[in-house]
Amino acid sequence: MAGLVWIRMSYLIGLIYALHILVCFFLIIVVLLQSGKSGDIAAAFGGMGSQTAFGPRGAATALSKATTWSAVLFMVTSITLSIFAVRRTSTPASSGSVLSGVKPSTTNSQPAAPAPQPSSPASQPAPAK
């Protein structure tokens, strides 16, 4: 029974990976297809006149809506895949730490020897008057 659950879960993870990759490519294409707002040289230096700080806000086009929804879907699939990755690697015996499988070093190091005390100078110069 546990094997069947594992097969279904790995199928689901593979499906989410495929969806995530498709959303990535779609998001890249949609962003590259959009035209820039105020593409002249004055807009690069903030010369937008009396318009708002981020430029005029017109009606949302189908391309901007597709960008928004694909970005949301990208974030959801990213979070879902990270949750599945954490759940798959954490077992009751492990703490889920990155260093849980690393063995401690077995070197026998000795503490450093203390530094020798400086000898007092034999003769000190006389103070100037």
pLDDT tens track, the chain, 129 positions: 667 777 888 888 999 999 999 999 999 999 998 877 655 555 556 655 545 555 556 667 888 899 999 999 999 999 999 998 888 766 555 555 667 677 777 777 778 888 888 777 666 666 666
Give the helix ranges, DSSP H, for the chain: 2-33, 41-44, 62-89
3-state secondary structure 67-89: HHHHHHHHHHHHHHHHHHHHHHH
pTM of the shown model: 0.55
The label of the residue with tokens 């970005």 reads 71
- Domain range annotation of the chain: 1-34+64-88
Angle at 78 between CA 27 and CA 12, to 5 degrees: 105
